[in-house]
Every structure is written in C-alpha cells, then in structure tokens.
Amino acid sequence: MKRLALVAIAAFIAAGAAAQELTPTDIEPIYRRSFTAVYELTGAEPVREAAMSPDGTYVGFVRGNNLFVRDVASGKETQITRDGRRNEIINGATDWVYEEEYMFTRAWRWSPDSRRIAWLRFDERAVPEFTMMRFGGRLYPEPYTFKYPKAGEANSVVTLHVYDLSDGTTQQVDTGAETDQYIPRIDWTPATDQNPAGELFFYRVNRLQNHFEVVLAENGGTGADAATEADASVATRVIYDESSPTYVERPTDETVTFLEDGEHFAVRNETRTGYWETYLYSVETGFVETYNTDEDSHISVAEWNATVKDGREFFSFTPEGGVEIFGWTMTPKDFDPSGATKYPVFMTQYSGPGSESVFVEEIHPGDMMIYRPLLDKGYIVVCVDPRGTGGRGEAFKKCTYGQLGRLETEDQIAAARHLAEQPWVDSERIGIYGWSYGGFIALNSVLKGADVFAAAVAVAPVTSWRFYDSIYTEIYNGLPADNPAGYDDNSPINYAHLLKGKLFLVHGSGDDNVHVQNSYEMARALVAEGKNFDMMIYPDDNHSMRPDGALHVRRKIVDWVLGNL
C-alpha cells in the first residue's frame, strides 16, 4: 500500500511547479490511493489532499474530514467546514467507494482565478460499516471499522458546495432532486479573457449507472443570477446527456475535456455507434461534430505475432455456437509441437468487464514472476480474453451485463477444451489462475469445468457479488433486489459440491477491497461439502498482498502449481 501511495505522490508532485512547494513527509497510507502527510506550508499536523491555488497565494487541504485554506504569505488559516467526522461526514475528500471505483481522492477544486473552492460533502452516516481485524503482532488485535457500501446497500449522500474566499460565503449547488446518485467529478472550465473565473461543472450519474450527464453551474456559483445567502442553491443546467439500456461506462478525467476557448468541450462516447468515438460539443448549442474515431478492434493475430518480442504467440478459436475468442501462448524453451511431448498448461486470466489481458503491449512484471519459473519447468502458459472484456466494441463487452461470471466462465472452459485437443497438451494437467475478478472466474471454471480443469489458484477472489461494493457491482449486475439470479446463479459458493480438481485459495486478511469474507465463505461451503483444498492467509495484507506478501505469494503460487498440476 505504501508503494501505491508513493506513486500517487510522485504524480502529484509532477503536476506543476506550485506542487514543488508541497513536498510531503511522514506519509501514512489510508487506502489504495489516499494518504496523509505533513507539508511545510500546512503546519505540523498531518493533512491530505493538499493543493496550491493557481496564483500560488493559498494552499488548501483536508484535515480531520474538514476543508481548510491557508494564506501562504501570512500563514493565516481559515476553516471552511466544521461538521467533518470520521465515518459520518467527509468534506473535500472521497469516501472509500468513490476512491476505489471512480479513482480520485481530492474532492475539491480551486477556481482558475483562485477566488473560490468547490468541494463535495459526503454524508456516509447511513452507509453500513465493515470491520477488519488488524493483528500486527499485538496481544489483542485491533478492529478497523470503515464505511463500505455493498451492492444494494445505502451509499453516501453527496452534495456540492462553493466557498468564496473574498467574502467568506458558502453556497450549495443544485445537483438535482435525487440523492441516491453519484457525482464522480467536479472541476472548473478553463479561464478565458471574457471569463477569468471559469465555470463550475460536475458529472452526474444515476444509481443504476445507465444515465450520465455533464452539468454546468450557472455563473459558476457567483454573479447576479446566483443565490447570495449562505448555503442557498446555485442553479445548474445540463449540457450533455447520455443513456444506455445497460450501462454507461464509468466516467473518468478523460471522458470530458473542456477546450481553452471556453465555448466547446469534447466527450468520449461508445453508446452511439458501439465503438469509442470523440464528439465535439458547444456549451451553448449542443452537438457539433464527430472529430475522432477510436478503432476499437485489434490488428491481426499475424501482425501481433510479428511485433511482440516477449515470447507470446497469439491465436484465436471459435467455440461451438459462439464468437471468436483471442488468446496467447508462451511455450517452454525447445518446445516441440509435434505431440511427442505432452505439456501441462497453466491458464492465466482476469476476464473482468472491459479489461484486456491478451493484446497488451507488455505483461506485468509481477505476472512474469509466476510465468517464467513455470516455463522453465516445462509448462505452457496461456491467456484468454473471454466475452465481456474490452477492445472489441460495446456489444462484446456488455453481453455479460446482469450475469457476471456466466459467459466468461463458459469461454474459459471452452478454451481449456480447445487446448486439450492440441497434440502437444497433456489434457489431464490443465489448470487456471486468477486474482480478484480473475480469482472469481478461476473458481467458477474449476467447479463448472471440473471435467477439464485439474487445478485452480484463486487469489483474493470475489465469491459472491453480494459481498462487493455498490458502484462496481451494480453497474454490471444491476441491483440485487432486481436481479437475484444474476448474483446467485454465478456465485462459486453455490457450486462447491462440484469440485473435483485441486484448489488453492489465497487472501490477505487486511483486504479492504475484496474482503477476506469472500474466501472464508468459499471455504465454509467447501468444508460443508467435504472437499479438500489448500488455503493461505496473509495477515494484514491488502488486495495487492502488501505490505508484506507480494513476493511471497508469487513464489508460493509457483511452488503450489509445480506440486499439484
């Protein structure tokens, strides 16, 4: 976790010259992307989400779930909010699920003229709590409790506010009548000669995540048409509207780009044509033109095989009644394709919605720590991207909507059967491995494909989507109350009785993302069915098996595979 925090810090420091004034010390990670630190310009107490104003006059930051601003020259500190409290109210920083799934932590922004600060306030009092035990060599382990909205449960109620440094007033921005929604980004449009203050805008997404809007605050929250009393509502208008019968992909910083002219913005969209395209819009009049098309398809397998130098060879196959599926193989040194030698196969995959593991430029070094020793021992390593993955258009990606795990598992089983037919494969020694979503598919594959898979390694797997967070799960599977079959029919917990092969379950007890509860409940089901399996728990380690087990787990996986496949 500390390494991830340091990566975030490095990116933060590189963001601009003003950030050089904010060199962090005494770094303490919180979750995957968040941390507290001490900065010379913010005082001796740890703070988070510090940022200089564009003119370098002020520094803003979050301390104790409240938002502050400090005059750099005088050191005078102003507390903007006072209601922040852990596990209740957060001002200017995101809650757990926003940080994890919308991938940002600083939920406040300076206006271009350094006069105003816009921020999100998270009221998470109704969000259910999850408790993990922290061991750390203590005589009595300490409970760590945080707000974690699982699928179908209450989310934070998020509101948007603007503070004016010139007069100390605060206004609330009208984000609509619905409170069970998401505001995954706020920011200001670029300054222009006509409007040096810029305009405040935000994204708005409904709970089902099939309706996405870009909303502009009238007059940026100031001026003659804006409310003047504290906490009064600032009027807004929608300048972009997109919907889908399934879902609109989670928006990021790259989804919308406002041009420097202050009159136009560009939006990446895949719902119009089924492929990613970029559209140019006018802030005042709506649609202008399509000015760029992203070819959402791959170059040919032959072209990839001619360019990739890491030992992969790409292939494709078409399951009976299915669609063409792509994959790659890595073979041992002196590989003999004649069939005189039969090789065991180690299948690796992630398989999550929109992900790509096959046609990537470079394999992750952590994965190669597993693949290389197996290749050296005479194993073939194979990776397949099933239906639901990315790079092949909206229809291919979204066909898994409402049934996470079903088609992906079918395709991994079909891939194993395809491999079993090859003359150089030992059909009795095919195994499958995955981490997180990949662990979920590895479990389902060894259970539902018991006739073809001899072994599986599942690291930090989701075992029921009822256990996972609201934003990620509901965008792909809907609400549990509306789609119980989509949650239960594809949960490996319900298929423990099918296990025939060997299974290795691995999890970190400090995983705040995919809780160890997932593996515990899988283990409970396997024990109830009298099934033998192996299990490894990494005390206090997170979803990446950090801070202690990241290297150990990869060596352990290799050793287990060599002894069981």
DSSP string, 400-466: TTT-TTHHHHHHHHHHHHHHHTSTTEEEEEEEEEEETHHHHHHHHHHHHTTTT--EEEEES----GG
Position with higher pLDDT, 301 vs 87: 87
- Residues 436-477 have pLDDT tens digits of 999 999 999 999 999 999 999 999 999 999 999 999 999 999
**Domain stop point among 243, 264, 293:** 293
**Consecutive H or E run containing 28:** strand 25-29
| pLDDT beyond 50 at 6 | no
Give a yes or no: residue 219 inside a domain.
yes
- Residues 141-176 have pLDDT tens digits of 999 999 999 999 999 999 999 999 999 999 999 999
In this structure, the answer to whether residues 353 and 375 fall within a common structural domain is yes
**Domain stop point among 240, 258, 293:** 293
pLDDT for res 286: 76
Torsion of CA 7, 10, 14, 17, to 10 degrees: 150
* CATH number of the domain enclosing 537: 3.40.50.1820
pLDDT for res 322: 84
Between strands 455-459 and 502-508, the pairing is parallel
In this structure, the answer to whether residues 132 and 262 fall within a common structural domain is yes
| pTM, rounded to two decimals | 0.92
Whole-number Å distance between alpha carbons of 180 and 517: 27
Whole-number Å distance between alpha carbons of 392 and 394: 7
Give a yes or no: residue 421 inside a domain.
yes
Q: How confident is the model at residue 284 (pLDDT cuts 50, 70, 90)?
A: confident
Give a yes or no: residue 473 inside a domain.
yes
pLDDT for res 227: 39
Radius of gyration over alpha carbons of the chain, in Å?
A: 25
- CA-nearest of 383, 394, 400 to 296 is 394
- Residues 358-415 have pLDDT tens digits of 999 999 999 999 999 999 999 999 999 999 999 999 999 999 999 999 999 999 999 9
- Residues 34-87 have pLDDT tens digits of 999 999 999 899 999 999 999 999 999 999 999 999 999 999 999 999 999 999
Cα–Cα distances in angstroms (integers) from residue 138 to residues 1, 133, 135, 316, in the given order: 20, 11, 6, 52
pLDDT for res 204: 98
| pLDDT beyond 80 at 524 | yes
Whole-number Å distance between alpha carbons of 348 and 357: 9
Position with higher pLDDT, 304 vs 53: 53
In residues, how long is the chain? 565
In this structure, the answer to whether residues 262 and 312 fall within a common structural domain is no
In this structure, the answer to whether residues 364 and 507 fall within a common structural domain is yes
Residues with Cβ < 8 Å from 397, sequence gap 6 or more? 353, 354, 388, 389, 390
pLDDT for res 219: 66
**Consecutive H or E run containing 315:** strand 312-317
Residue with tokens 């890595």: 330
Cα–Cα distances in angstroms (integers) from residue 375 to residues 43, 332, 346, 471, in the given order: 54, 5, 9, 38
In this structure, the answer to whether residues 508 and 531 fall within a common structural domain is yes
φ/ψ region of 539 (left if φ > 0, alpha if ψ in -120 to 50, else beta) reads beta
- Residues 196-255 have pLDDT tens digits of 999 999 999 999 999 999 999 976 554 434 434 445 579 999 999 999 999 999 999 999
Look over the chain and give the mean of its residue pLDDT values, rounded to a whole number: 92
CB atoms within 10 A of CB 229: 8
Give a yes or no: residue 47 inside a domain.
no
- Residues 20-33 have pLDDT tens digits of 478 999 999 999 99
Give a yes or no: residue 14 inside a domain.
no
| pLDDT beyond 90 at 262 | no
Residues with Cβ < 8 Å from 149, sequence gap 6 or more? 97, 127, 128, 155, 156, 469, 470
Q: How confident is the model at residue 299 (pLDDT cuts 50, 70, 90)?
A: confident
In this structure, the answer to whether residues 541 and 454 fall within a common structural domain is yes
Whole-number Å distance between alpha carbons of 396 and 387: 6
Q: Write out the residue range of the structural domain in which residue 230 sits.
A: 80-293
The DSSP code for 122 is: E
For residue 360, the one-letter residue type is: V
pLDDT for res 228: 41
Give a yes or no: residue 140 inside a domain.
yes
Q: How confident is the model at residue 287 (pLDDT cuts 50, 70, 90)?
A: confident
In this structure, the answer to whether residues 311 and 249 fall within a common structural domain is no
In this structure, the answer to whether residues 218 and 360 fall within a common structural domain is no
In this structure, the answer to whether residues 387 and 513 fall within a common structural domain is yes
Compute the C-alpha angle 171/174/176, nearest 5°: 160
Number of domains in the chain: 2
3-state SS, residue 185: coil
In this structure, the answer to whether residues 305 and 288 fall within a common structural domain is no
- Residues 470-523 have pLDDT tens digits of 999 999 999 999 999 999 999 999 999 999 999 999 999 999 999 999 999 999
pLDDT for res 4: 44
Residues with Cβ < 8 Å from 206, sequence gap 6 or more? 178, 181, 182
- CB environment 90-123: b (16+ within 10 A), e (fewer): bbbbbbbbbbbbbebbbbbbbbbbbbbbbbbbbb
